[in-house]
Amino acid sequence: MSGHLLDPAWLSRLERMQVLSRRMASGTQAGKRRSRQTGSSLEFADYRAYAPGDDLRQLDWNAYGRSGKLFVKKFLDEQELHVTLYIDCSTSMAYGEPSKLERAVQLAAALGYISLCHLDYVSVYAFDQEIVASLRNLQGKNKAAQLFQFLSSLTAGRAGDLEKALRAPGAVHGKPGISLILSDFLFDAGYEAGIAYLQATRQDVTLVQLLSPEEREPVYQGELRLIDSETRQGKEISVTRGLIDEYRKAVRDYQAELAQFAYRRGMAVLDVQTQMPLEDVVFRVFRQAGMIR
């Protein structure tokens, strides 16, 4: 992938945001969210740009004297949040323009950057049938370049198997936290068992489903031979209006099943259209869904 993963002009906006856990209430569960009050520990961790509402007592006036800009000192405390991003790199994710994988990587970059700016621990796992690449336990805004470089290197590979990948050794770090799966969830072996396994490891799980416009509203017509991108199996079909209507219903039903599965297990699921401007997804869809604030 070439160019910037994120518009550099967005970074200051992202720094003022925060990835939210819907389940982990402060003071009631292990692995609870770090307090927004800085200075609860004497161990200095990092700086970030001042934003309205920040504690003025944490301003670094020496830094202001050197740069003319306001920075807030941040300190480590005991309430650390682990944010884990699982990116589907199976063959089907290469489909579309922009591809589903490209959008997934950009969204992971935004969520990861927000988390690093708030001193959360960030881990990223790329998977198809197994974990094909990982970057673990980053912390601090100074790790953003390492995160972006890793994400830029990801490419689509083989057919996907979510459960097999998540059950691989080291695929789950074991500490309570937030886990986000960015995928089309089009797995021959299904998705239920893998997601249930991840949730059982004390993760607050959010599902982000990415589908291309062509997958939602195909424009094919006539006599065609369709080839599955992952199994390479082909099928001769005659595309009629009735068949397209059946296909649309099948897509809606599949998405409804995913949403119902997530609802029963207390998870959030977001439907992301890959053609939607990235800025809209990050600053509107994610915020409206309560993923970030």
CA nearest neighbour of 215 among 258, 183, 251, 239: 251
Number of domains observed in the structure of the chain: 2
Considering just the CA atoms, what is the radius of gyration of the chain in Å? 21
Tens place of pLDDT per residue across the chain (293 aa): 545 789 888 888 898 888 887 654 333 333 334 444 444 454 555 666 766 656 666 777 777 677 777 776 665 444 578 999 999 999 999 999 999 999 999 999 999 999 999 889 999 999 999 999 999 999 999 999 999 999 999 999 999 999 999 999 999 977 889 999 999 999 999 999 999 999 999 999 999 999 999 999 887 776 667 676 666 677 777 778 888 899 899 999 999 999 999 999 999 999 999 999 999 999 999 988 888 88
Domain match, 69 and 86 both: no
Of 58, 78, 98, the last residue of a domain is 78
Domain match, 73 and 101 both: no
Q: Determine how many CB atoms are found less than 10 A away from the CB of residue 198.
A: 22
Domain match, 134 and 261 both: yes
Q: 78, 41 in Cβ contact below 8 A?
A: yes
Residue 20 lies in a domain: no
Q: What confidence score (pLDDT) does residue 229 get? A: 65
Domain match, 152 and 219 both: yes
CA nearest neighbour of 109 among 156, 143, 81, 75: 143
Instruction: Classify residue 234 as exposed, middle or buried by CB count within 10 Å of its CB (0-12, 13-18, 19+).
Output: exposed
CA 90/CA 197 separation, integer angstroms: 20
Q: What confidence score (pLDDT) does residue 115 get? A: 94
Containing 66, the helix (H) or strand (E) segment is helix 61-67
Q: What confidence score (pLDDT) does residue 173 get? A: 78
Instruction: Classify residue 286 as exposed, middle or buried by CB count within 10 Å of its CB (0-12, 13-18, 19+).
Output: buried
Residue 116 lies in a domain: yes
Q: What confidence score (pLDDT) does residue 26 get? A: 39
Of 16, 49, 78, the last residue of a domain is 78
Residue 14 lies in a domain: no
Domain match, 84 and 65 both: no
Q: What confidence score (pLDDT) does residue 77 get? A: 47
* pTM listed for this prediction: 0.80
Task: Give residue 59's domain range.
Answer: 36-78
Residue 267 maps to which CATH number?
A: 3.40.50.410
Domain match, 66 and 181 both: no
